[in-house]
Structure 1
Amino acid sequence: MPILPMFPLGTALLPGDHLPLRVFEPRYQELVRDCVAAPDGPRFGVVLIARGHEVGGGDQRTDIGTVARILVDNDLGGGRHTLECIAEERIRILDWLPDDPYPRAEVEAWPDTDSAAVDLSELTVHLGRLYGLLDRLTEGRAAPPPDDLPTDPGARLFALARHIPMGEADRYAILSAPGPEERLALLIESISSAIDLAEWRLKND
């Protein structure tokens, strides 16, 4: 199985997300050097930290993650970097290896179990309602999802999820959904929660 350098973070990275990173820990400075020199390109895995912190190690990590590719590497000197990365395919962790010096894991690609089309009509209605409320809360500054979304059902739902206010646990649930049908149900649930919160804020502000 492929072995990837891993970067546990306090966020659930969805395919298609842009990821800016500031690298200052020595172990992750070495990860960047190894990624840049890797023959198959500057790639590493990202997983959500279930418990613990990004700095210092000793964290507990989730088992579903995403491959991130480094697009821009700004060397700040002294081993420090700022990175601009893009999230690519979803992966499942098969085995965590010893941190030597940075986290590494045996992984496998985990594509959607089903790529059949899903009915987005209910989701569209909920999104319209949510963004109507957000527009009122932000005095017209809320930006709805763009029209040029991916046509693949699973990728389209990941793209829509990036425009829905939600916590990291909800983002991880969406990342972990086996396929588009399950992801759609979770998105509708997250939008409903966001609608309830927006309505409460409008009544109490």
Structure 2
Amino acid sequence: MFPSADLPDTIPVFPLPGALLLPRARLPLHLFEPRYLQMFEDTLKTSHRLIGMVQPHDGPGGKAQLHSIGCAGRVTQFSETEDGRYMVTLSGISRYRMRQEIVGFTPYRRAEVTWDGFERDIGPAETDKGFDRPKFLKLLSRYFAEQDLQTDWDSLKDADAELLINSLSMLCPFEPEEKQALLEAPSLTTRRETLITLIEFALRGGSSEEVLQ
């Protein structure tokens, strides 16, 4: 568990479309751009070793902007390739809300953030009392067949509810705005309901017709 007192007011932010990180989940990253190599090396020098993942989006006039809510992960594992790239694993710590970007000083983006409202993220794993696993896995099986995806179904049957829902939220090929909706879900139950809605929508081929049962 990450102590709330160790959460910094300023973190580097890494805009990566479609890359979702959630609390207590893990996200692998492949870093090769010089600015992000610098970000990683600077992060290792800090006591918290946090990097804030965030979704970019098109603002007014097509100008690139960042969503206000992201999720910070702690560097827990990394390896360096012979040509200077890094393979990094981030372990999700807490979501945050951006207050403002910090201009200048580094080649990568940094922001002042607040962790208020996300206190549950640094606590114990969430539960979902309304989770109907057999019904959910049946729906998921249809979705994976439609998307030509493979998985270890035995492990899904036994996985902790939070690990299962969060891992699928991160791994399923949803659009960036759909990933943002999963990130901003206020509870595990809401995230599971959002995940089901997105899967059903994909099975309809993006139409509003009733899903065949």
Asked whether the two chains share a fold, i.e. TM above 0.5, the reply is: yes
Match of residue 130, structure 2, among 119, 126, 134: 119
Question: Is 2:113 the counterpart of 1:103?
Answer: no
User: Secondary structure, in 3 states, of the residue corresponding to 2:57?
Assistant: strand
For residue 47 of structure 1, report the CA deviation from its aligned partner. 0.5
Compute the TM-score of the two structures, normalised by the length of structure 2. Answer: 0.70
**What percentage of residue pairs aligned between the two structures are identical?**
20
Match of residue 190, structure 1, among 194, 198, 205: 198
Corresponding residue of 1:60: 65
Corresponding residue of 1:43: 50
Match runs of 1:162-177 below 5 Å: 162=170, 164-177=172-185
Matched residues in 2 for 1:66 and 1:133: separation?
A: 27
Match runs of 1:1-205 below 5 Å: 2-15=9-22, 16-25=25-34, 27-40=35-48, 42-51=49-58, 59-70=64-75, 71-74=77-80, 76=82, 80-92=84-96, 93-101=98-106, 102-109=108-115, 110-112=118-120, 115=126, 117-121=128-132, 124-132=134-142, 134-135=144-145, 138=148, 142-143=150-151, 144=153, 146-150=156-160, 153=162, 156-162=164-170, 164-197=172-205
For residue 65 of structure 1, report the CA deviation from its aligned partner. 1.1
For residue 156 of structure 1, report the CA deviation from its aligned partner. 4.8
Task: Give unmatched runs, 5+ long, in structure 2.
Answer: 1-7, 207-213
Matched residues in 2 for 1:103 and 1:75: separation?
A: 24
Tell me how many residue pairs correspond in the alignment.
184
Task: Give unmatched runs, 5+ long, in structure 1.
Answer: 53-57, 199-205
Compute the TM-score of the two structures, normalised by the length of structure 1. Answer: 0.73
For residue 35 of structure 1, report the CA deviation from its aligned partner. 0.9
Matched residues in 2 for 1:136 and 1:180: separation?
A: 25
Q: Say if 1:90 and 1:12 are closer, same or farther in 2 by CA, change over 3 A.
A: farther
Counterpart AA for 1:175: L
For residue 124 of structure 1, report the CA deviation from its aligned partner. 4.3
